């Protein structure tokens, strides 16, 4: 079974800047479930934090994640 983690997408692409939204990735990948590339050094959160962030979450990653986890 895959391990998942949330990865930050930053506003204006500036690493460490304000977070635009979160994406779900398979742990260790630099592409989100939706196909969006994420920086290898971007902020990470455990998948259980989904829904507990102030920033929005990628709707496509959310839909794909729900179809992959029990």
User: pTM for the whole thing?
Assistant: 0.90
Q: Tens digits of per-residue pLDDT, 29-46?
A: 999 999 999 999 999 999
> Quick one: three-class SS letters along 32-68?
CCCCCECCCCCCEEEHHHCCCCCCEECHHHHHHHHHH
CA-based nearest residue to 5, from 31, 55, 20:
31
Query: Would the pLDDT of 56 be above 70?
Result: yes
At 58, list the tokens: 């990628």
């Amino acid at each position: 079974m895959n391990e998942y983690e949330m990865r930050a997408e930053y506003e204006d692409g500036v690493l460490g800047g304000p977070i635009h939204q979160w994406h779900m990735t398979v742990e260790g990948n630099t592409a989100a479930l939706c196909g969006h590339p994420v920086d290898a050094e971007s902020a990470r959160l455990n998948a259980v934090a989904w829904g507990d962030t102030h920033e929005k979450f990628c709707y496509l990653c959310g839909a794909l994640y729900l179809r992959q986890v029990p």
